[in-house]
Chain A
């Protein structure tokens, strides 16, 4: 992999997980794969942060979970978005867009910038 990897900003992992799960029921391994693929290998989610985050979101009622046979035939825990999780995703996406737009504006116009 030639591309540079970046660390996730604090608090964005939950949002990314909610976003990926919003596409349909999915297990933990596939969530990590999907985030890596969609970000073109820039973002890599470690198991060490993925599973605690999934369990935290499940306990907060933002994700639901059920055990189903996976594509390989083994039982896997499939996560899906709850209505509460959908609302949370919406509000987090909005605030993230506001924040990143603001940061983009500052980086573009501040004197001494690279542009």
Chain B
């Protein structure tokens, strides 16, 4: 039986464990009676000798190796019950966590992008700034941009920017 089967059949395993230990207990009682004890005394002695039944069971469940799954499920149920019981605590906890995580994430993103990240281009010196501007400026900039891009293209040779007529057309539109 692998651990998955042991997990799925844990109801059956529990019953079997119970029967098995019960058998042991009963066998002990029978033996005590054979040794001349009264019924009550035999049971009492067997119970003392057996020790904590629940402790034995718990150790047997440990041996199954799947107890941590059940334990996690129990912990989750317990946590959910507590959260449902104390709404204010839950609300404050959620807000606190949300704020903390949000601020942390924002700051880290800013620092990483701003100070540590590399420019997402193979040749950063060729990057262009695209901006909205009044049509006249756009036309002027468009022409300028085309010229600049052409210059760069010829200077570096292998770099391909947006084809110059296309770029001119997009920038000319309002």
Contacts and interface: CB of A to CB of B under 8 A. Distances in A.
Interface of A: 27-29, 32, 46-49, 51-53, 55-56, 59, 67, 70, 72, 74-77
B64 A55 contact: yes
B16 A59 contact: no
Nearest to B51: A48
B59 A72 contact: no
Given A29-B27, A47-B51, A59-B6, A76 B20 contact: yes
A47 B60 contact: no
Classify the interface of chain B: helix, strand, loop or mixed: helix
B33 to A, nearest CB: 12
A80 B24 CA distance: 17
A52 B59 contact: yes
A96 to B, nearest CB: 22
Task: Pick the 10 closest A-B CB pairs, nearest first.
Answer: A52-B59, A55-B63, A56-B63, A29-B27, A29-B24, A52-B63, A77-B20, A55-B60, A76-B23, A52-B60
Classify the interface of chain A: helix, strand, loop or mixed: helix
Contacts of B1: 59
A48 to B, nearest CB: 5
A49 B65 CA distance: 16
A75 B56 CA distance: 20
A27 B60 CA distance: 16
B164 interface: no
Contacts of B20: 28, 51, 76-77
A31 B25 CA distance: 14
Contacts of B60: 51-52, 55
B16 A72 contact: no
A51 B23 contact: no
A72 B51 CA distance: 23
Contacts of A28: 20, 23-24
A70 B30 CA distance: 13
Contacts of B59: 48-49, 51-52
Contact of B65 (A59, A72, A77): A59
B64 A59 contact: yes
6 contacts: A48-B56, A52-B60, A59-B64, A70-B27, A74-B26, A77-B20
